[in-house]
Amino acid sequence: MLKPHRKLVFKETFKTLNRDVWNLEVGEKWFNDERQCYVDSPKNLQLTKQGLRIIADVNPAEKKCRYQSIRMNTKDKKEWQYGTFIARAKLPHGKGSWPAIWFLGHDIGEVKWPLCGEIDLLEMVGHDPEVLHFSLHSQLHNHIIKTQRTKFQKIPGIMEGFHDYKMIWRPEGISFFIDEVHYVTFEKKPGDSIESWPFDKPYYLIMNIAVGGTWGGKIEEQDMPYMMDVEKIEVYQE
């Protein structure tokens, strides 16, 4: 388990949607055979008393974009290299939902995925509720070739109410926690190349709900809308 950082360098409580921090990604075609279109719409992104609400819903009137959701990121606006990250969030219910809070390397436009690296602070799929996944993806260790560094944990009751999802990222490794309970640390190994450990450069934050796809699975429209609430994001460094 790694030592946490102590200096608060970023805090987001979503009193407004700050476009100087957040980008809204928009488009019809996405990875992993996902079925949603991502939109920039107040129907799918709302501010509530508890913070930000991401909504994935069905729109029967739309043939090309039957499912609409939100994918937002901090690319080129807020990026970090190392730190302690805390996301206080409430997970969605529903088969076909695929919520995630995660990070991609800032150089993805140059080197592409998976060489850019991916850090998954939180992933879950609705057909396997209460099972949380923490993963690292790289050129040599990723889900396409089934070699990712990953930990999954069933946590009864985790989908009820808000919980703190925390990651401590240091040069020597990355640790993951929920409500201050430590679940796994992935350590950088001696001799790791950038193809194996690309986690020594700036990364940007992403939050989204995907719909269906190769992992999200069969969509049960009666379970929609899927909603993920995010009360706050905090980042600490030295």
> Which sequence positions are flagged as catalytic?
118, 123
Of the candidates 118, 125, 114, 174, the one whose C-alpha atom is nearest the C-alpha of residue 152 is 125
CA distance 23 to 129: 29
**Tokens in use for 208?**
């989204």
Q: What does DSSP say about strands 226-237 and 83-90: parallel, antiparallel, or unpaired?
A: antiparallel
CA pair distance 203, 47, nearest whole angstrom: 25
Give me 39's structure tokens.
């939109």
Tell me the residue type at 206. I
Per DSSP, 221 falls in state G
3-state DSSP call for residue 223?
helix
Nearest to 219 by CA among 207, 227, 210, 229: 210
CA distances from residue 204 to 35, 57, 85, 127, 220 in whole angstroms, order as listed:
24, 26, 12, 28, 31
CB 217 within 8 A of CB 127: yes
Q: Would you say 151 and 168 are in contact if contact means Cβ atoms under 8 Å apart? A: no
